[in-house]
Structure 1
Amino acid sequence: MDYDIVVIGGGPAGLAAAVEAKKSGVDNILIIERDRELGGILQQCIHNGFGLHEFKEELTGPEYAERFIDQVKELNIEYKIDTKVLNITEDKIISAVNSKNGLINIIAKSIILSMGCRERTRGAINIPGTRPAGIFTAGTAQRYINMEGYMVGKKIFILGSGDIGLIMARRLTLEGAEVIGVAELMPYSGGLTRNIVQCLHDYNIPLLLSHTITRIDGKDRIDGIELSEVDEDNRPIPGTEKYYECDTLLLSVGLIPENELSKSANLKLDNITGGPIVNEFMETTIEGIFACGNVVHVHDLVDYVSEEGRRAGKNAAKYVLEGFSKSERVIQTKAGKGIRYIVPQAIRLENIDNSITLFMRSDDVYSNETLNVKLGEEVIRRIKKRTLTPGEMERVNIDINLLKDTVAETLVVEIEKEGQ
């Protein structure tokens, strides 16, 4: 099988990428999705709040996904569901398997990676104690309740304040469960402010910052957890232990870009994001392989995932139809003081028409600070920010005219703290 573009992952990023590639003039496109339907994680996100940027209206997750699935079908874009990709190579050869076709080998002119992300499990955070039933990641519990029709428990504690955990606190409450509380290791929440308000405050569910679980009890089913306060080094403080009886524990302790396939293709990964290093075209370190969405870095809003998918799809089409001009002149982006990471990590100026958007997260909570954008040693833009928090991604637009005629090789974004 030969295709011009193969999109791996049929979630919001992959669907947007395929639609945009088709609209950009490429006909021979294949989407490969491992689940039983297109739409990705959106299909289990039955709450509203999606689409405000993309469609200018509030939609549920399945409604948002359906908008793109309808476009895929209208454009006659081929897709395979229940199909798992086993391997991709630097030469863009894809090995996949499903029950209908068996083992499939596909040759692509261009590949778009949009596999999304996965949740950290109990094993990733090393909570001591016994190993009873009743411990779920928040996303697993969400699928059980919203798609499979199973209730996960009656008396529930949640560790971690990521958006999925916050949303599940509300969802479980609405289903009649008692959510005792949400504990967060850091001194700030990892979720959006609107979710803290709508999912915890509105239901009187306590959020315990700078706390973590130090023991899990239970033989067959979890009986309870021991919660402790932590110090500045995130170490439990002796004497602060408190015991909570519960029959279920949900973990919302972070998301990790799904990059086993990226590793199989020998793509260079960013040590901070865990996703592929990309340039202004969302092209990875291997020519013709693009990446977008949560496989690159974890987003807050699906609208921005779709936007990134469109950019990858448009540029993959351009690569197939025209090719790119080779450029030795590359400006590297660099996270300065107070910034965890920046995407894209590399910028080729001749490929930018008007402006470039940089995505980033702060490494702590800051108030009334200034974001400085520096080209070499020169500050080319200052942006006043009332608040900066790791739970909310920042977008910074840079006018191409500010970057032209420079000999600098690095673009740094940093937080200018008071007194500097």
Structure 2
Amino acid sequence: MLRSLSVRVLIALVAGLGLGAAAAAYAGPEVKRAIELFESVGGLWLNSLRMTVVPLIFAILVTGVSGVADAAATGRLAVRTLVLILICMTGSALFALVWQIGFYAVWPVDPHGALALKAGAASAPELLKAAPKLTDFIKNLAPSNPIKAASEDSILPLVVFAGFFGFAVTRLPEARRRAVTELFESIAEAMVTIVRWVLQAAPIGVFALALGVGLRAGVAAAPEIIHYMASISLGNIAIGLVMALVAVTLGRVPAGLWVRATAPVQVAAFATQSSLACLPAMVERSRDDLGIPDRITGLSLPLAVALLRVTGPFANYAVALFVAQVYGVHLTPGLYAAGAFVAVATSLAAVSLPGQVSFFFSIAPICVTLGVPVDLLPILIAVEVIPDIFRTIGNVTGDMAITAILARGEPVEARAAVA
């Protein structure tokens, strides 16, 4: 069990909070100064993660967009699959906004808990800059200087530029296209390697940061961490239920048959927390229980597993919105729209990344776009193992749901009777 990085990080979080709180209550000034000095190790770890965000997001978006364009050229079924994926991803990001309004109206962030959580952030929060005018927002979507945009963490213009660049790459002659794609694939792999190295030190980094949280906030931050886990987990469950309803209504799959077909896959998702590991089970259940032809499952399910992750835009955006709630940042409609766009783009781009890598890569650009600090992310990633279970369950449910929709009207080969 201790071989799991998520478990080690969770233990480090709890230990850091506990020791920091004990030091705040009983230790002398020398111990407190030593903890503050050790906390700088956590800041170093956080900055090591931050330094990879811009090159990683650009490289993966370029290779991802060019790959999607190639896939779209393979046929009408691929195009239909991609359109459904984009619709689901956009709906997922918009659902985060609806969820924020409803959930926080019922269970608002406690001001005292928020203060405690902010007190343990790795550095002082950066104040949100003045919200841009709508005309400036539209004008700046295309960066006049992409390098400057990257240096200033202007993520949305960088995403737009990377998208255009990726599509332009697909118009190059085959040899040149392959050379450019391989270059950016290599850059992305190098960045992922760096992040993996940094994440190996995650227990130390999170322990150092959690010591600071415990020292300054005691255990007062614990309720808001539980609040965060409940918000993201319940939202992921809601998306899974929506996708099941979509399969029953639009895919015209009997409810009993749908439950019987998806239950083994969802159990595998709970155990593995990996959509890719569930792919064989999804193919088998879609073919044997739902009677979906192999020519559909053979294309739509791999594409869905590679690109969809329907809970991604919601969960990533919802994390950033939670941080905004903690810091009391009031967002404009333009910022909400920009955040949703970046949530979809980074969710599509992060599909090839490991869970801990994709957490920071997918959420940090959204936080930067909204103008909220990323300092809480190392604390939140420590408890991501719980919401991630429900992320994966929702994702495999969404993958099978769009496959059922694509199969509607196709000849049924072996649809089993409802028990």
Bin for the TM-score computed over the shorter chain: under 0.3
Q: Could you state the TM-score of these two structures normalised by the residue count of structure 1?
A: 0.25
Which is strand-richer, 1 or 2?
A: 1
Q: Could you state the TM-score of these two structures normalised by the residue count of structure 2?
A: 0.25
